[in-house]
Structure 1
Amino acid sequence: MKRHTFHFTFFIVLLLLTLIKVDASADPVPYFTYSLDKTSVSSGDFIKVQLNANQTADTAAGFRMTIDYDAAAFSFVRTETSAQIKSGTMYTNSTGNPIRSVYVCNVDRPTAPELSGNILSFVFQVKDGAPAGKANIGAHIDDVCNYDSKRLDVSVHQTLTAAVQPPKEAPSDEASLFSLQPYQGRLEPPFSPDVYKYNLYVESNVNSIEFSAAAQDGGTVRINRKTLFKAGTETPIVATVTSADKKAKTDYVITVFRGENPVPISDAASGKPESGKSAKPKDPYQSLKAKKTEKEAKKARQTEPAGEYATATAEPGQEEQQAVQASVQQPSYSNRADRNIYIIGNQMPTFFIGMLTTALCLMLGILLTFYLRIPPKK
């Protein structure tokens, strides 16, 4: 029994000694700590050195803060204080490097205000052309005293490090496509960044089309539409490229030709495809070129002077032959249905001769009648 009691007592004593040793070796809560709001910066970025206060039994009523920094990488901008630091209680001298700030609490109160969290920040900006790599900012606080003007044994120094990234390249002013590929059909001519107009043929059953497009140097691409007009028509589609600096724009125009709907034809004399077959040409791009050539020819004909009759130059020696043929040509009719009478070979027409003969016969008959009625003389 005594042996078990001895072991139990030894275990309790050992446990108590361990706890006392751990408690004695624990560090006291620091009055102040430092931190950076970011550890990686680039040219033009802002970075803050923050002073953080912890709640302690004896509140700090005054202190002096010193900040030294890498002048090749940073430039000082300003200080920022929390609401716990009352107006008129913080003084900062930022004319040199290091920067010095002194805090003395408002003595009109019976006790010093409790400080906790981020109470003070020093704001820096990364210089243009700052060398890439690590840049240091040193923070040191000393001359800490309580409300009774008793100096506290507080002196905290720490070197903070930020990584400065290489300078950012200026956004590009290039507004051009790197690639342009339709999901149906193929572009005519093939894509090139320096070509801004294209033709594209699709079947009549395709009512919408999409493109895979990418801009150069970080630019953006916007395609205005994907639906097509009805079959047998053409649809202009515009791909607008905006440069990375948002200052330049370029338009690429794709004219999409949508094929005509298949037309069933039963009349073989029409010369069109048989029933159920499509009238689509074997090579749609040749068809497009043919249409273009036909349009140009039509336009040329419209610009030529219009004449009512076509003229031809007769070869020498043919004038007399043409005159003879004209003299024996058949009667023709005008648009007003008037009948034209032609005299052939300078001769009197046959019906005129008959009319004259008839008239002579009538006159002769009349004369004979009067003659026969005259009585004979006695």
Structure 2
Amino acid sequence: MKKQNFRAFLLLLLLPVLLRIPAYAATVPYFTYSVDKPSAARGELVKLQINAGQVPDTAAGFRMRIRYHAEALSFVRTETSSQIKSGTMVTNSVSNPICSVYVCNVDQGAAPQLSGNIISFVFQVRDGASSGDTVIDAHIDEVCNYAAKQLDVDIEENLTVSIEPPEEEPSDEAALSRLAPYNGELVPEFSPDVYRYRLSVGYAVESVEFYARAEEGGTVKINRKSLFRPGTDTPIVATVTSADKTNQVQYVVLVSRAEKPAGAVGLSSDPPRSAGKASGQEKTASNQAKLSEKGTAETTAREEDGFSAAAEAENQAQPQAAPTAAQPNAAGYGGRNVYIIGNQMPVYVVGMLTAALCILLGIALSLYLKIKPRE
């Protein structure tokens, strides 16, 4: 039993070693380094940040040396947190490496606790810097506590910043890479070097739209999409402006709208002029015949269905020929003279009113005789 107890006791002693459990806490580093961005473009700022860890024996003084590639970066300034009091850090910024020395105020009785981002070295990427990685070397040494005891702290690290390639200059090219109508096909087939085209559409097509795309980041603007009346040509212009706004070109598409078939005259608001003229003449003759028969101005062309204002205006605009021996009157539609008599009531209206009056008198008389008392 004693032997077994001894083995169990020994196993308990060796268990932490077998399980690799450390018997001490992890050490918090005094300082670490970081950059605020992994890459930067020309002209942008980059910050090398000095970060302090919360340690029991805080640093009361230290030296920093920052080395950088002067052909890629230029030093701008240092930025410190409120933990670094004014006058406690001195920096030699004209040298490379940059050298800074920090010594805390001694009149406080203890060194201030440092933690987080305490110092930043600000650089700017040069305009002529080459694309690719550039290295910033950060080194802190000569660290001591408030009792002026030298601490075993010496931390150096290389940090990399990637310099982005320059942005491409806007292109000065003004051209279309594609131009396609949603109705029909261009003649000739589209090419960026061809600036004049024709396009044929049916008479019922009233507008045409295009898909247009400019090359090299340019912009394109099309002046219109509505078409002129059937049987006419409509020029549609696509204006292309280069990305740098220095050049412009124009592509012109002449859209031919087909003539309207003869059977489709009534389908549109703009009938052929010849048909309108003949219709106007026939209607005018009919109206004048009605005037001569009725002898009044109230039976003018407004009483006839389908008489268009356009035909009436066009007919009235026709110059009248002077009467001749073979043409006895200026109207040219017969030998009778037509007289316009105004402010007279038609005969049939008078007759109707007279008949209505007689009926009313008859009804009144019958009612009177019916209700009169017998003697």
Q: Same fold (TM over 0.5)?
A: yes
Instruction: Name the aligned partner's letter for residue 173 of structure 1.
Output: D
Q: Which residue identity is paired with 1:221?
A: T
* Residue equivalent to 2:82: 83
State the number of aligned residues.
272
After superposition, give the CA deviation of every residue in 1:54-100 in whole Å (9 maximum; x if it has no partner): 11112223222111111222222222223333333332211121111
1:337 counterpart (318, 323, 338): 323
In 1, Cα distance between equivalents of 2:21 and 2:63 = 35
Deviations along 1:108-128, whole A, 9 cap, x unmatched?
Answer: 544433322222222222323
Mapped partners of 1:9, 1:223: distance in 2 = 91
How far off its partner does 1:143 sit?
2.0
Counterpart CA distance in 1 for 2:196 and 2:263 is 35
Question: Aligned partners of 1:238 and 1:9: how far apart in 2?
Answer: 98
Equivalence for 1:374? none
CA distance in 2, matches of 1:139, 1:51: 9
Higher CA-based Rg: 1
Hey, what's the Cα distance between the residues in 2 that align with 1:14 and 1:144? 39
Question: 2:139: which partner in 1?
Answer: 140
Cα distance in 2 between the residues matched to 1:107 and 1:249: 72
**How far apart in 1 are the matches of 2:46 and 2:83?**
22
Contact 2:183 2:208 in 1 (8 A): no
Once superposed, what is the RMSD of the aligned Cα atoms?
3.9
State how far apart, in whole Å, the 2-side matches of 1:183 and 1:134 are. 50
- Which residue in the other structure is 1:71 paired with? 70
CA-to-aligned-CA distance 1:145-166 (integer Å, 9 cap, x gap)? 2333333221111122334455
Aligned counterpart, 2:93: 94
Work out whether residues 78 and 123 of structure 1, in 8 Å CA contact, stay in contact via their aligned partners in 2: yes
Unpaired runs of at least 5, structure 1:
273-333, 341-378
Equivalence for 2:61: 62
1:44, distance to aligned residue in structure 2 (A): 3.2
CA distance in 1, matches of 2:102, 2:50: 12
After TM superposition, the structure 1 = structure 2 runs for residues 197-346 of structure 1, keeping only pairs within 5 Å, are: 198-203=197-202, 204=204, 209-213=209-213, 215-217=214-216, 219-223=217-221, 228=226, 232=230, 239-246=238-245, 248=247, 250-254=249-253, 256=255, 264=263, 335-339=321-325
Question: 232-241 vs 120-129, which deviates more?
Answer: 232-241
Residue of structure 1 in register with 2:174 after alignment: 175
Judge conservation of contact 1:221–1:239 (CA < 8 Å) in 2: no
Distance 1:161 1:68 in 2: 12
Query: In 1, Cα distance between the equivalents of 2:40 and 2:108?
Result: 42
Whether 1:11 aligns to 2:11 is yes
Aligned-pair CA distance for 1:185 = 2.3
TM-score of the aligned structures, taking structure 1 as reference length? 0.58
C-alpha displacement of 1:206: 7.4
| SS of the residue 1:76 aligns to | strand
Q: Unaligned stretches of 5+ in structure 2?
A: 267-271, 273-319, 327-375
TM-score under structure 2 normalisation? 0.58
